[in-house]
Amino acid sequence: MSLWQIIRRLLPFVRPYRSLVISTLLLTLVGSLAAQVNPFVLRYTVDTVQGLLNRGQGLAEGWHMLLWVSGLLLGKELINTGITFGQKYYGEKIRISVSGALAEAAVTKILGYELGFFSEGGNQTGKLQTRIDRGVESLMKLVQNFFIDILPLFANAIVALVVMFFANKWVGMVALAVLPVYFWLSYRQADRLNGTRRNLRSLREEKNHGLISIIDSIVVIKSFVREAYEGDKQLAVQDRLEEAQLSTRRTNFRYDGLKTFVEQIGVVAIIVLTAYLVLDGQISIGAIMFHILLFNNVSAPIRQLHRIYDEMNEALTYAEGFFAILDADDQTERPGPLRPAHLYGRFELRHVDFTYPSGTAALHDVSMTIEAGKTTALVGLSGAGKSTIINLLCEFYRPNGGTVLLDGQPLSEYDTHALRQQIGLVLQKNHIFKGTIEENIRYGNFAATQAEIEAAARQAYLHDQILDLPRGYQSDAQQLSGGQQQRIAIARLFLKNPPIIFLDEPTASLDAIATEQIKNSLDAIKQGRTVVIISHSLAQIVDSDCIYVMKKGEMVESGTHLQLYEKRGTYREIFDASARSLNIEKLAKTMADDGDEVLDTAL
Ligand SMILES: Nc1ncnc2c1ncn2[C@@H]1O[C@H](COP(=O)(O)OP(=O)(O)OP(=O)(O)O)[C@@H](O)[C@H]1O
C-alpha cells in the first residue's frame, strides 16, 4: 500500500474533524513564520553590536537595543509556546478521535463478516487482534507525525530555505544541495527495511497467537506435561523475532550514521561559504549566525526524517493488514430482502454441496426435507457433516452448490438477522460470556423480566442450583461447571422462545439425571415447533418424526426409527454399536432381576 493510498483511506475518518485540521494548519503556518524571527534578530544584533564597536561606542549606547531585542525574543517565545501548545493539542485531539473511529470501524466490520472470515489464517483470535491494535497504533503515528512532526517541521524548513535563498542565493543552493542526498539515503533505508518489517509483523502476530493458544489450552498442556515443549515453541518464535528486530536496528544505525555525516557536510559547507562571503565583503558578519540558524531550521526536519520515514513505513506495513480487515467485503453477510414476521420452518435442501473455506469438503449432493412443526434428527458418525447442515440452515455459511429453501423461498433471500431472530441454537459447547448468570441468560432476550429469567432457569433445571450459590443469579457464569453452562444455553433458548430450534448434542455435558430432566423440558418446548436435533445418544432421537442418516458428507438413509432399524443399514449399525457400548444386555438383566425382586417382595 502506498502512502498516497493510505492518506486517501484515512480521509473519510479525518473529514469529521476538518475544522480542527484547518486550525492546526493555520497554527502551523504562523509557527513556521515565528520560527524565522530568531535568525533575523540575531543578525540584526550582531551587526548592530559590530557597528557600535566599529564606532568605538559601548554599553551606554547599546543597552536600549539589547532591551528591545530581549523583549522581542521573549515575546515571540511566549507566542510560540501558545502556538506549539495549540498545534500539539489539536494534533493529539485529531489523532485520538481518528484512532477511536478506526477501531470502531474494524469492530463493526468484523461483526458483519461471515464465519468463513474467522477461519482464515490471518484472522485467528490473536492474529486479528494484533493486526487491529498494530494497524490503529501505526496509522495514528502517521496522523500524529503529519500534524505534530512533519507539517510544522517541513513548513519551518521550507520557509527557512526560501529566506536563505532571498538572503544569498549561493548559501541557499548549498543548503538545498544536501537535501536530495539525504532524501535518497532515507528512501534507500526505507526500502531495505520494508521486507524486514513485514517479517516482523507476521512474527509478532505468531507470538501473540501462540501465547493466546497457550492460555486457552493450559489444562491440556499441564496434564500432558508439555510445558517444556510449548515453551520451546514460543522460544523459537521469540528467537526469530529478536533476530528480525536486531537486523532492523542494524540497518537503521548504518543509515543513520551516513545521514548524520551528510548533514555535517552541509553545516561545514555553510560555515566556510558564509565566512568567505564575509571576508569578501559581500555580507555582514551577522549573516554567518543568520545562515547557520536558518540551516538549523532546514536540517532539523532532516534529522527527524529517518524516524518519520521509519514510522511511516511501519504504518504502511501495518495499514495494509488493517485495511484488509475493513476491505473483506466479499465476506460480509449479504442480507436478503425477506423479513417475515413468522417462519414455519420448512427447510428443503436440494443437491447441496459444501466445502469449508479451509478446503475441507463437508457435504456432497445432500437433499432432505425438514418438515415444519416436526422433529427431525440427524444421525451419523463423527465428521459426517451433521453440524455443517445446521451451519448452512443458520446461514453461517452458504452452500457452494444446490439450494436451500425455507418456507418455499431460497434461504439466501432472507435477511440474516430476521432469520436468526427466529432460530434457537444450542450447541455441544456453548459460549458463556464474561459476566453474571443473569446477564448470560438475559442474552436470549434483553427485554426479559427477572421473573421470566427465573422461569427459563427453572425450565432448564438450573434455578435451584443457582439459588445454592452464594451470590445467586449474580454469580460469575464462567465459574459454573460444563453441565451448568450447557443449562444456561438451554435457559437462553427458552427465554428466546423461537419457532425453529436446532439442537447439536444439547445434553452432551449433562449427567444422566440432568439429561432426563432437560429431555422432558425440551420435549415440552418441541410442541408445534420445527426442531432439528443432532445426538449420538439414540435415546434422544428415537422419537423423532424423521431421521436422516449422514455418512461421509452424504445423506444415506432416511425414515423413522423403526423403518431405519428394519432396513439393517448404517442406522442399524450405529444402533447396534450404541447398544453394545451401553452394555444393554447387562442393564436389561439387572432391570429384569430387579423386577423379579420387586415381584417377590410384592408376593
Ligand atoms: N469450521 C470448519 N472449518 C473447516 N472444516 C470444518 C469446520 N467445521 C467442520 N469442518 C469439517 O467438516 C467435516 C464435517 O464436520 P461436521 O462438524 O459437520 O461433522 P459432524 O457430523 O457434526 O461431526 P460430530 O458428530 O463430530 O460433531 C469434517 O471433516 C470437519 O473436519
Q: How confident is the model at residue 118 (pLDDT cuts 50, 70, 90)?
A: confident
Q: Which three cell numbers stand for residue 143?
A: 496522523
Return the residue whose CA atom lies nearest to atom 16 of ligand 1: 385
**570 neighbors 385 (Cβ within 8 angstroms):** no
Give me the pLDDT at residue 375, please.
92
Partners of 491 in beta bridges: none
Best probe residue, ligand 1, of 358, 360, 389, 570 (max atoms within 8 Å of C-beta)? 360
Does one domain contain both 366 and 308? no
Query: Does some domain include residue 341?
Result: no
CA-505 nearest atom, ligand 1:
27
Partners of 414 in beta bridges: 338
Each residue's pLDDT tens digit, 47-70: 888 888 888 887 778 788 888 889
More confident residue, 184 or 584: 184
Query: Does some domain include residue 575?
Result: no
Residues with C-beta less than 6 Å from any ligand 1 atom = 119, 356, 358, 360, 362, 380, 382-388
Packing angle, helices 482-496 and 512-526, rounded to 10: 10
Query: Does some domain include residue 147?
Result: yes
Domain with residue 165: its CATH number is 1.20.1560.10
Q: Which three cell numbers stand for residue 113?
A: 463478516
How much is the mean pLDDT over the chain? 85
Is the sign of the CA dihedral 507, 512, 518, 523 positive or negative? Answer: positive
Does one domain contain both 287 and 415? no
At residue 564, the 3 state secondary structure works out as helix
Best probe residue, ligand 1, of 119, 331, 356 (max atoms within 8 Å of C-beta)? 356
Is the sign of the CA dihedral 194, 196, 202, 208 positive or negative? Answer: negative
Return the residue whose CA atom lies nearest to atom 29 of ligand 1: 383
Please compute the mean of the pLDDT values over residues 140-169 and round it to a whole number: 81
Complex ipTM value:
0.96
Q: How far is the CA of 385 from the centre of ligand 1 (A)?
A: 6
More confident residue, 410 or 32: 410
Q: How far is the CA of 547 from the centre of ligand 1 (A)?
A: 19
Query: Does some domain include residue 595?
Result: no
* Greatest pairwise CA separation for the chain in angstroms: 142
Does one domain contain both 399 and 482? yes
Model's pTM, two decimal places? 0.69
| Cα Rg of the chain, angstroms | 37
Q: For residues 146 and 308, give the distance between their C-alpha atoms in angstroms, rounded to a whole number.
A: 9
Using the predicted structure, report yes or no on whether residue 306 has a pLDDT greater than 70: no
Please compute the mean of the pLDDT values over residues 265-287 and round it to a whole number: 87
Q: How far is the CA of 553 from the centre of ligand 1 (A)?
A: 9
Our count of domains for the chain comes to 2
At residue 595, the 3 state secondary structure works out as helix
Q: How far is the CA of 396 from the centre of ligand 1 (A)?
A: 13
Does one domain contain both 372 and 244? no
Query: Does some domain include residue 120?
Result: yes
Nearest residue to 331 via CA among 271, 276, 396:
396
Report the Cα–Cα distance between both ends of the chain, in Å, rounded: 90
Does one domain contain both 166 and 126? yes
CA-358 nearest atom, ligand 1:
4
Does one domain contain both 223 and 355? no
Q: Are strands 401-406 and 347-355 parallel, antiparallel or unpaired?
A: antiparallel
Q: Which domain holds residue 60?
A: 3-331
Is the sign of the CA dihedral 52, 58, 59, 64 positive or negative? Answer: negative
Does one domain contain both 304 and 415? no
The percentage of the chain sitting over the pLDDT mark of 90, rounded to a whole number, equals 23
Return the residue whose CA atom lies nearest to atom 31 of ligand 1: 383
Each residue's pLDDT tens digit, 121-135: 666 666 778 788 888
Query: Does some domain include residue 53?
Result: yes
Best probe residue, ligand 1, of 378, 386, 391, 509 (max atoms within 8 Å of C-beta)? 386
Domain with residue 434: its CATH number is 3.40.50.300
Q: How far is the CA of 364 from the centre of ligand 1 (A)?
A: 13
CA-428 nearest atom, ligand 1:
27
Query: Does some domain include residue 339?
Result: no
The DSSP secondary-structure symbol of 149 reads I
Give me the pLDDT at residue 560, please.
92
Strand order, beta sheet including 409-410: 361-370, 347-355, 401-406, 409-410
CA-391 nearest atom, ligand 1:
18
Each residue's pLDDT tens digit, 354-381: 998 888 899 999 999 999 999 999 999 8
More confident residue, 338 or 127: 338
Q: For residues 119 and 396, give the distance between their C-alpha atoms in angstroms, rounded to a whole number.
A: 12
Q: How far is the CA of 362 from the centre of ligand 1 (A)?
A: 7
Q: For residues 292 and 236, give the distance between their C-alpha atoms in angstroms, rounded to a whole number.
A: 51
Does one domain contain both 357 and 429? yes
Q: Which three cell numbers stand for residue 481?
A: 461447571
Return the residue whose CA atom lies nearest to atom 28 of ligand 1: 383
Give me the pLDDT at residue 603, please.
45
**146 neighbors 309 (Cβ within 8 angstroms):** no
Does one domain contain both 150 and 272? yes
Partners of 361 in beta bridges: 355
Nearest residue to 171 via CA among 303, 43, 275:
275
Each residue's pLDDT tens digit, 521-552: 777 778 788 999 998 888 788 889 999 999 99
Q: Which three cell numbers stand for residue 100?
A: 477511536
Each residue's pLDDT tens digit, 573-603: 988 888 887 777 777 777 777 665 544 444 4
Query: Does some domain include residue 492?
Result: yes
**541 neighbors 547 (Cβ within 8 angstroms):** yes
Please compute the mean of the pLDDT values over residues 342-362 and round it to a whole number: 91
Each residue's pLDDT tens digit, 211-232: 888 888 888 888 888 899 999 9
Q: How far is the CA of 383 from the centre of ligand 1 (A)?
A: 5
**557 neighbors 549 (Cβ within 8 angstroms):** yes
Does one domain contain both 233 and 360? no
Q: Which three cell numbers stand for residue 471?
A: 451470590
Q: How far is the CA of 387 from the centre of ligand 1 (A)?
A: 6
Q: Is 373 left (phi over 0), alpha (psi -120 to 50) or beta?
A: left
Q: How far is the CA of 127 from the centre of ligand 1 (A)?
A: 23
Q: How far is CA 10 from the centre of its chain?
A: 17
Backbone angles phi, psi at 19, to 5 degrees: -65, -35
Does one domain contain both 24 and 125? yes
Q: How far is the CA of 570 from the centre of ligand 1 (A)?
A: 19
Please compute the mean of the pLDDT values over residues 287-299 and round it to a whole number: 84
